[in-house]
Amino acid sequence: MCRTTAVYTHGMGLKEQINEDIKAAMRAKDEVGLRALRAIKSAILLAETAEGAKGELSSEAEIQLLTKQVKQRKDSIASFKAGGREDLAEAEAEELAVIERYLPQALSEEEIQAEVAALIAETGATSVKDLGKVMKAATAKFAGRADGKVVSEIVKKLLGA
């Protein structure tokens, strides 16, 4: 099976990049890539045409959209594995790998910890009571580059929870 290797290039918008990659996946007969790319394209179109939407998505909205797609795949994988459906879990994992190529490079736990420590100092947080303030700043800073659960655990640990 041939895999498309295009990665999100910031020179063109996500929508244009996905359209180009769909064409490449069709030419390469990459069923998995095509399925994942069509799911992304569908999510983009839904977001652009949603009530109150302003048409084109911002780069932050694109990252949010991709992060949501990743989270959905991870949840599905866990559900399928719990139900003994390894075949469906594998299909979701393959799509997940394709979608993750369009997200910014993920940060390591050490990098997250250093950034969170800086955010704690920046926000003046001193205890667990300030968790919300730090998480708000961290969510904005790490959008698409770190798992929210990991960030939350690190914030709690550093605040002494």
- Residues 101 and 105: their CA atoms lie apart, in Å, by 9
Final residue of a structural domain among 82, 100, 118: 100
Final residue of a structural domain among 74, 100, 126: 100
* CB atoms near residue 119 (< 10 Å): 22
Same domain for 54 and 96? yes
Question: Considering the entire predicted model, what is its pTM?
Answer: 0.70
Decide if 74 is inside a domain.
Answer: yes
Same domain for 23 and 91? yes
- Residues 31 and 37: their CA atoms lie apart, in Å, by 10
Same domain for 18 and 96? yes
Q: Report the number of distinct structural domains present in the chain.
A: 2
Mean pLDDT of 34-45: 93
Mean pLDDT of the chain: 84
Mean pLDDT of 44-62: 83
Same domain for 131 and 114? yes
- Residues 112 and 152: their CA atoms lie apart, in Å, by 10
Same domain for 74 and 125? no
CA distances to 21, 51, 142 from 47, rounded to whole Å, are: 20, 9, 21
* CB atoms near residue 48 (< 10 Å): 15
Give the chain's end-to-end CA distance (angstroms, integer). Answer: 48
Residues 133-145 have pLDDT tens digits of 888 888 878 777 7
Same domain for 82 and 21? yes
* CB atoms near residue 147 (< 10 Å): 17
Q: Is the pLDDT of residue 9 over 50?
A: no
Q: Show the domain range for 147.
A: 109-158
Mean pLDDT of 68-86: 94
Decide if 19 is inside a domain.
Answer: yes
The runs of H, that is alpha helices, within the chain are 14-28, 31-49, 59-82, 86-100, 109-123, 131-141, 148-158
Same domain for 119 and 151? yes
Same domain for 45 and 89? yes
Q: Are 71 and 96 in contact (CB under 8 A)?
A: no
Same domain for 94 and 120? no
